[in-house]
Amino acid sequence: MATTRRWVLGSAGLAAVATGLPCRASARARIQINSPMAPPTWALLQRELLRANADACEVFYIRYFDERGYFLCFERWGANDGPDDAIENVNGWPQLHALGGRDSVKAMYTQAWEGHLRQFTEAKTTEVEIAREGMFFKEFCVQLDWAHHSEGMTMFNVQGLSDPYNGRFQDRARRFSAMYMGEDPHAPNYDPERRVIRSLMNGSRGPMLRKATALDWAGDRFEVNGRFFMEHGETSYEQTLEHYVEYTDVVGDHPLNLFATTLALNAFMIDQEPKYRDWLIGYVDAWAERAEANDNLLPSNVGRDGVIGSDAEGNWWGGAYGWGFSPINPTTGLREDRNRVPRTIIGFFNAYLLTGDDKYLDVWRKQVDQLNAQRRTFEGKVQHPTMYGPDGWYGWKDGLNQANSLDIWWFSMKASDRTRAPDHPWVAYLEGRNPSWPETALRRDLARVAEMARAERDDTSTPDTRLADAVLEFNPASVTALMQTMMGALHIARPAWSTTSANVGGSPLYARLRYFDADRRRAGVPDDVAALVHTMTADQTTVTLVNVSLTEARNVVIQGGGYGEHQIRSLDAGNGLAPVDAPSVTIRLAPGAGATLTLAMDRYVNQPSLAFPWDR
């Protein structure tokens, strides 16, 4: 029997107590906190925001989903309003539960996920050939680009936070990964020899190896004007087709395919099977090499032969969603720049999560430096380019390029990265310059929950007049402030209320800390517990924990990182140092007790795992 070390924090300081309880090495340290703490305002706001989110999500779910988990809408194929949008209506719900939200939230998003898989397997097209037997095959979209696949995977990619032992989740994580690792004969998307995904358009029925048509993107003809809310402003089906007339060049690899790495990351984190890690690192490395060979710019086309630009008439900047992609918007008649390469940094973040290797962040630093090297002064303002075509650089934006720079600093914690990044209210708080930010951010998200609840009540749409994306903005889940204050986490998310620089979907959790309820054996803080991350450095995190209950003690596990990737060396509550040397530590909070803890950490030294701390 191992001896668990247990420290008691009270007026006499921090003392070690041998409990003689059996334990696992990863959760050996146990800290007892008895010091009284009056509930801070931020703590009460956190608890209220967890409650309000759950209440509003329950009302939203009853309104827009049926008892099967089907989203109540007019089902269509297409990039505008297709299957990926239906499941996005529960974006943020897995994070809400993993923070400590009500169990009903988990039950709802799980039912919605299972329901939408059945719903869009049953839904079929007439005109679009690839989806005539169902929009999903093997529970995955038959063929689309990863700008949209990633949105459809947003819920699934964080399902493992609260439900890592779900057999269906584990099976899908492996099956979906197989579609992009050359293991599924129905989905020959990947060429392992050349390390390319063969097309921008890919899925469970394989890659598109021809020119795409507007119909492939827009879906079957349907009634538009006067019946549906159209997010992109089209007033006719013809305009919907026109939107995609120039989306033809899809053959060959594109950086958007890096979003597929999150599938392999999830599969790896189930039981650490090396092949998933090896594929992820190998594919990201291939893109890093391509950038280096292309003047430190990620090319937007790599041909099926592995040569940069070979499936785009030799142009490194070619292809749909590439550096030179500025199609006409039929609703305005103007060309709009739609370079999606800058969104694809998540693949490099996934590689960094697995390795802690700075070379993956350096790919993006060098790309930003290259863009800023092309800067110009126009009408007295410095501008940087965002696009490149036959006539050179264009798509000028004011200022220097700082895309994703705060996110890069969040990972590296290097002073040099901080100087390259803009300011941000959260960062100002972490640096001691914005003390009111936690309350301001939490109140803002509480106000948003109320606003979305009102919007849902005022919505007059019905299932036969509602497209899959019609009420995305009404989704009440507002988790950004909770993720930042409680976990020190990035919220790389869609829709646009995310405060990070990358407005995309399909991200895993990137967090400095996570919490688990030691008594209920579930993800998230226990009832009545609140947490506020005050500072984060390369090797230290300071967090205040408080139990707002005056009658019940609470046991909470603090984990280093979203997936235990950080090792907690020691814990200091101000009265003495407690060694931990594990990815997690258990804290017992007496009724009405709280303390500010400084955790010394070695970051990115453990292989990430979905397993709960007590099972490692």
The predicted model scores a pTM of 0.95
Indicate whether 12 pLDDT > 50. Answer: no
Instruction: DSSP letter for 144, please.
Output: B
Q: Taking the C-alpha atoms of 173, 175, 179 and 185 in order, what is their torsion angle to the nearest 10 degrees?
A: 170
> pLDDT category, 411, cuts 50, 70, 90?
very high
Q: Are 199 and 312 in contact (CB under 8 A)?
A: no
DSSP 235: -
Assess whether pLDDT exceeds 60 at residue 589.
yes
DSSP 3: P
* Residues 156, 219 contacting (CB under 8 angstroms): no
pLDDT value at residue 25: 33
In angstroms and rounded to an integer, the radius of gyration of the C-alpha atoms of the chain is 24
Given a cut of 70, whether residue 205 has pLDDT beyond it is: yes
Tokens of 197: 């995904």
Position 27 pLDDT exceeds 60: no
pLDDT value at residue 28? 57
The b-or-e profile of 196-217 (16+ CB within 10 A means b, else e) is bbbbbbbbbbbbbeeebbbbbb
Instruction: Compute the distance between CA of residue 387 and CA of residue 394 in angstroms, rounded to an integer.
Output: 5
pLDDT at 13: 39
pLDDT at position 1: 34
> In angstroms, rounded to a whole number, what is the distance separating the alpha carbons of residues 528 and 101?
11
Residue 514 CA to residue 557 CA, distance in Å, equals 8
Residue 553's CB is within 10 A of a number of other CB atoms, namely 18
Distance between CA 79 and CA 84 in Å, rounded? 8
pLDDT at 469 (0 to 100): 94
Count CB-CB contacts under 10 A for residue 521: 10
pLDDT by residue (tens digit) across 280-312? 999 999 999 999 999 999 999 999 999 999 999
Task: Tell me how far apart the alpha carbons of residues 7 and 22 are, in angstroms, rounded to a whole number.
Answer: 16
Give the pLDDT band of residue 19 (cuts 50, 70, 90).
very low
Q: Taking residues 558-564, report their average pLDDT.
A: 98
Using alpha carbons, select from 471, 522, 476, 470 the residue that is nearest to residue 497.
476
Q: How many CB atoms lie within 10 A of CB 240?
A: 24
- Is residue 157 within 8 Å of 506, Cβ to Cβ? yes
pLDDT tens for 216-271 read 999 999 998 888 888 778 889 999 999 999 999 999 999 999 999 999 999 999 99
Q: Give the pLDDT mean for 401-416.
A: 96
What was the pLDDT predicted at 373? Answer: 98
In the block, residue with structure tokens 């930042």:
484
Query: In this model, does residue 502 exceed pLDDT 60?
Result: no
Give the pLDDT confidence score for residue 9 in this predicted structure. Answer: 45
What integer best gives the mean pLDDT of the chain? 93
Give ∠ CA 27-28-34 in degrees, rounded to 5.
95
Instruction: Please count the CA atoms within 13 angstroms of the CA of 12 that sit on its side-chain side.
Output: 5
Q: What is the per-residue pLDDT for 565?
A: 98
Q: Is there a contact between 527 and 549 (Cβ–Cβ < 8 Å)?
A: yes
CA 211 to chain centroid, in Å, comes to 31
pLDDT beyond 80 at 365? yes
- Write down the pLDDT at residue 497: 30
Q: Which two tokens stand for residue 340?
A: 């999606």
Residue 196 token pair: 């390319």
- In this prediction, what percent of the chain has a pLDDT beyond 70? 94
- pLDDT, residue 425, reads 97
Nearest to 160 by CA among 557, 610, 493, 615: 610
**Residue pLDDT, tens place only, 128-187:** 999 999 999 999 999 999 999 999 999 999 999 999 999 999 999 999 999 999 999 999
The pLDDT tens digits of the residues spanning 44-71 come to: 999 999 999 999 999 999 999 999 999 9
Average pLDDT over residues 10-28: 36
Q: How far apart are the C-alpha atoms of 277 and 422, rounded to whole Å?
A: 33
For residue 337, the model assigns a pLDDT of 98
Q: In terms of DSSP H, where are the helices of 65-187?
A: 83-87, 93-99, 103-122, 146-152, 167-178
Paired tokens of 334: 């103007």
Per-residue pLDDT band for 5 (boundaries 50, 70, 90) equals: very low
Taking only the tens place, the pLDDT of each residue in 425-448 is 999 999 999 999 999 999 999 999
> What does each C-alpha distance from 34 to 166, 284, 329, 558 come to in angstroms?
37, 48, 62, 17
CA distance 287 to 255: 8
Residue 532: which H helix or E strand, with range?
strand 529-536
Exposed/middle/buried for 39, CB within 10 Å: 0-12, 13-18, 19+?
Answer: middle
Q: Read off the pLDDT of each residue in 503-530 and give the average, rounded to a whole number.
A: 94
Of 238-252, 412-426, 493-507, give the lowest mean pLDDT range. 493-507
Per-residue tokens: 356: 């802690």
pLDDT digits (tens, 9 = 90+) for 156-172: 999 999 999 999 999 99
**DSSP H or E segment with residue 243:** helix 237-243
| pLDDT of amino acid 22 | 28
> Residue 50: CB partners within 8 Å, gap ≥ 6?
96, 99, 100, 101, 102, 482
Please report the pLDDT score of residue 504 as a whole number.
Answer: 67
Strand ranges for 252-394 from DSSP E = 328-329, 334-335, 376-378, 381-384, 387-389, 392-394
What's residue 203's pLDDT? Answer: 98
